[in-house]
Amino acid sequence: MQNYIETEAETVEEAIDIALTELDTTRENVNIIIINEPTKGILSFGAKPAKVRATLKEDVTTAPETVLKEILTRIGIDGDVSSEHIDGSLHLDMVTDSPALLIGKHGQTLDAIERILNCIINKNALAKKKVFVDTEGYRERREQSLVALAHQVAAKVKRTRQDVALSPMSAKDRRVIHLSLQSDDSVSTFSQGEGDMRRVVITKEDKY
């Protein structure tokens, strides 16, 4: 999504006023670039309106790193936050003396922190962004564990020809299971249950 807005009007100031109204902000909170000055043309032919681009200035107090550090402070954990852009997404890594507290059971606390962070930084943002949060490399270890589990259970399903329902998981974890087995023609997966009790079921795929 674009992080700016472009508007047109008879004059530059009018175009700026329209942009400020649409962004619901004031002049000091945006950067203005004049794309086109208005031209009158000849006998009304060739006339062009003024065109400007208005971009919201980033508030350092709502920068993802700052917000995450504040969240840590409010839950009583002292730690540092580093950031890295990977494939166009912002990934934040927390370094603390209490990683287990941040992770929680099966990453539930980590997921909650990530959801809260994204809600805060996107509340009034012109361009919505998805920020990922991790600590101690937990996300990668969790994914590797889920992939191993998926293949282990799939092997059991093939051997016994009995469906196996895994323990309830988050949508993120269920997706890992589905993707891990999507290329295995011998089994198929589907989700069942509601809310926190939603789980993946692995079943034998009968071709004949």
Q: Do 55 and 20 contact (CB within 8 A), yes or no?
A: no
Query: What's the CATH number where 42 sits?
Result: 3.30.30
pLDDT digits (tens, 9 = 90+) for 15-31: 999 988 888 888 888 88
Residues 152 and 200 in one domain: yes
Domain boundary among 83, 103, 136: 136
Mean pLDDT of 42-48: 69
Q: Do 43 and 99 lie in a common domain?
A: no
Domain span at residue 84 reads 60-136
pLDDT of residue 208: 45
How far apart (Å, rounded) are the C-alpha atoms in residues 139 and 198? 20
Number of structural domains (the chain) is 3
**pLDDT, position 89:** 84
Mean pLDDT of the chain: 88
Reported confidence tier of residue 55, pLDDT bands at 50, 70, 90? confident
Phi-psi region of 63 (alpha: psi -120 to 50; beta: other; left: phi over 0): beta
User: What residues are paired with 55 via a beta bridge?
Assistant: 31
Q: Is 1 a residue whose pLDDT tops 50?
A: no
- Last residue of some domain: 56, 77, 98? 56
Cβ-proximal residues to 75 (8 Å cutoff; 6+ apart), any chain: none
Per-residue pLDDT for 2 more than 60?
A: no
- pLDDT value at residue 128: 73
Q: Please tell me whether residues 65 and 77 are part of one structural domain.
A: yes
Distance CA 111, CA 199 (A): 17
Model confidence pLDDT, tens digit, residues 153-164: 999 999 999 999
Provide the pLDDT for residue 159.
95
Does residue 48 sit in the same domain as residue 73?
A: no
* Model pLDDT for residues 65-94, shown as the tens digit of each residue: 999 999 999 989 988 999 998 887 889 999
pLDDT of 45 reads 67
Q: What is the pTM of this model?
A: 0.67
Arithmetic mean of pLDDT, 133-149? 96
